[in-house]
């Protein structure tokens, strides 16, 4: 039963799950740990850094390109002179062997002067992708914090449920003992004993299932938050952080939800890509300059030094239809991006509506289940008293005990559902962020890496030293 002590929650009352211990981990501190440790969130941050690199890559279109060249060769040469006859004498031929070492070095600089706006629009598209990546990161942050809040409340709920099941087993064990005593005294029959034994076996099975459920929740907690739960304080609903009404939540979400912002930037990027592809049909102008040194044998002796500067223009006439197809494709991507934006807006509205309805429903469920717990406690006490005078059977007591257990477990679930629903409503509104929650943790700055690499002209190492 060690799992029942993992979070030290120990007791379930008719009102709330409680936890003892001044050093207990709070829901806010668990969210802060997830903000720092969650692997999925950290992977999204690394992915945004990769997106940042698209801007300096696009800016490279404004910059010159420099290329050097060098060559060195070995050219063995053999000259054979045939024998000749001179004045009646034969002059033997000769063979001359020599080796030449030709080589060259050169450098060339090219600079684009005009490319139909491709570089300009590529930079703008890359910057739009960065903004979209930041919005996606914020949306991932929301999902992570919601999953962390859910995992936290699941552990609280499942530990409280396990405590209830354990207490129920203890009650059923005592009920069986009393029933056996009454059987020996002739007050009840063997059937009553069998009913008590069956209820105890069922209770132990339910306790075993509660242990398995808690183990699963603990594993999820560790995966999402980054460590095992130890001492968890009761969770609190996020009501103070929510918009004042359902309508206000919808308006807030449609205006600033990060998923919608990410899709808005996707539309901008798609429209800019149309301009990039159209720019391929425009003429381009580039300047170039080169210098080279060429020698046939020894660069210290005979060599040729050449320098050249040129201005070249290129006008695409026909590329097999490739550029035209790319423009049409880019335009279709714009249509798709607009459609995805409308889909996302509809989904966000639906999520707010659903989350708000769940929150209101779970709040009402708490009140109803509190009433059920109170009524079942009164009923159980009455059944026990009536059983003493023979008006109720052992089965009546066992059934009422099970009804009270179910009511208490349902109350715990309702309390958990209400708190989780408030975080779902906050997430659907686009406000479940470390900043809005005022988590006590250093904020991740998504612009820092961008500023470090945007104007970099070279370098293989990343800003963090990789």
> Which residue ranges form the domains of the chain, and what is each CATH number?
2-63+117-280+323-453 (1.20.1600.10)
Stated pTM of the model = 0.83
d(CA 432, CA 329): 37
In this prediction, residues 411-424 reach a mean pLDDT of 93
Beta pairing partners, 80 = 95
Whether residue 11 has pLDDT greater than 50: no
- What's the confidence (pLDDT) of residue 6? 36
Rounded Cα–Cα distance for residues 202 and 169 (Å)? 9
pLDDT (mean) for 342-364: 94
- Name the pLDDT band for 395 (thresholds 50, 70, 90): confident
What pLDDT score was predicted for residue 91?
A: 57
Provide mean pLDDT across the span 183-193.
Answer: 86
Nearest to 77 by CA among 101, 113, 110, 54: 101
pLDDT at 392: 79
% of residues, the chain, pLDDT over 90: 60
Among the residue ranges 148-152, 188-192, 264-268, 384-388, the one predicted with the least confidence is 384-388
Does 358 score more than 70 pLDDT?
Answer: yes
* Measured torsion, CA atoms of residues 256, 260, 261, 267, in degrees rounded to the nearest 10: -150
pLDDT band for position 157 (cuts 50, 70, 90): very high
Residue written as token pair 């659907």: 428
What residues contact 75, with CB distance under 8 A and at least 6 apart? 99, 100, 101, 102
- Mean pLDDT of the region 32-37: 95
Q: What is the pLDDT of residue 93?
A: 58
What is the token pair recorded at 1?
């039963």
CB 139 within 8 A of CB 348: no
The partner residues of 109 in beta bridges, in order of sequence, read 66, 289
Q: What is the mean pLDDT of the chain?
A: 87
- Considering only residues 77 and 333, tell me which one the structure prediction assigns the higher pLDDT: 333
- Are 325 and 351 in contact, with CB atoms under 8 Å apart? no
How would residue 206 be classed by pLDDT, with cut points 50, 70 and 90?
confident
Q: From the centroid of its chain, how far is CA 328?
A: 33
**Would you say 288 and 126 are in contact if contact means Cβ atoms under 8 Å apart?**
no
User: Strand, coil or helix: what is 110?
Assistant: strand
pLDDT digits (tens, 9 = 90+) for 78-129: 666 665 666 656 556 567 777 777 888 999 999 999 999 999 999 999 999 9
Neighbour-count burial of 457, counting CB atoms closer than 10 A to its CB (0-12 exposed, 13-18 middle, 19+ buried) = exposed
What pLDDT does residue 52 have?
94
């Amino acid at each position: 039963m060690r799992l029942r002590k993992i979070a030290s929650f120990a007791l379930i009352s008719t009102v709330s799950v409680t936890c003892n211990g001044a050093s207990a981990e709070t829901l806010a501190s668990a969210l802060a740990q997830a903000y720092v440790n969650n692997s999925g969130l950290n992977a999204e941050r690394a992915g945004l850094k990769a997106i940042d690199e698209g801007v300096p890559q696009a800016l490279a279109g404004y910059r010159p390109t420099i290329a050097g060249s060098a060559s060195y060769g070995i050219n063995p040469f053999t000259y054979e002179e045939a024998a000749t006859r001179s004045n009646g004498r034969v002059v033997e031929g000769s063979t001359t062997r020599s080796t030449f070492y030709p080589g060259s070095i050169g450098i060339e600089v090219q600079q684009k002067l005009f490319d139909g706006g491709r570089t300009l629009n590529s930079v703008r598209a890359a910057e739009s992708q960065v903004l979209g990546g930041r919005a996606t990161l914020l949306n991932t942050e929301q999902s992570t914090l919601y999953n962390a809040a859910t995992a936290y409340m699941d552990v609280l709920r499942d530990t409280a449920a396990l405590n209830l099941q354990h207490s129920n087993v203890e009650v059923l064990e005592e009920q069986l003992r009393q029933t056996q005593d009454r059987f020996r005294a002739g007050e009840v029959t063997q059937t009553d004993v069998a009913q008590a034994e069956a209820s105890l076996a069922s209770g132990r099975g339910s306790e075993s299932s509660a242990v398995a459920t808690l183990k699963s929740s603990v594993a999820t907690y560790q995966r999402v938050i980054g460590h095992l739960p130890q001492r968890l304080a009761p969770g609190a609903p996020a009501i103070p952080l929510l918009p004042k009404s359902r309508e206000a939540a919808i308006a807030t979400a449609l205006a600033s939800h990060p998923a919608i912002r990410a899709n808005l930037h996707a539309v901008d990027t798609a429209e800019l890509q149309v301009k990039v592809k159209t720019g391929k049909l425009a003429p381009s102008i580039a300047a170039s300059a080169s210098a080279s040194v060429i020698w046939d044998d020894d660069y210290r002796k005979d060599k040729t030094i050449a320098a050249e500067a040129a201005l070249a223009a290129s006008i695409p006439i026909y590329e097999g239809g490739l550029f035209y197809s790319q423009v049409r494709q880019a335009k279709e991507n714009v249509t798709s991006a607009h459609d995805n934006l409308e889909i996302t807006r509809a989904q966000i509205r639906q999520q707010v509506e659903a989350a708000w309805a769940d929150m209101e429903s779970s709040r009402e469920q708490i009140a109803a289940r509190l009433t059920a717990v109170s009524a079942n406690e009164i009923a159980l006490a009455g059944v026990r008293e009536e059983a003493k005078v023979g008006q109720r059977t052992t089965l009546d007591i066992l059934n009422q005990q099970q009804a009270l257990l179910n009511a208490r477990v349902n109350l715990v679930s309702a309390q958990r559902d209400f708190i989780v629903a408030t975080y779902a409503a906050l997430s659907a509104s686009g406000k479940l962020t470390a900043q809005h929650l005022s988590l006590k943790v250093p904020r991740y700055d998504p612009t820092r890496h961008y500023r470090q690499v945007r104007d970099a002209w070279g370098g293989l190492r990343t800003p963090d030293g990789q």
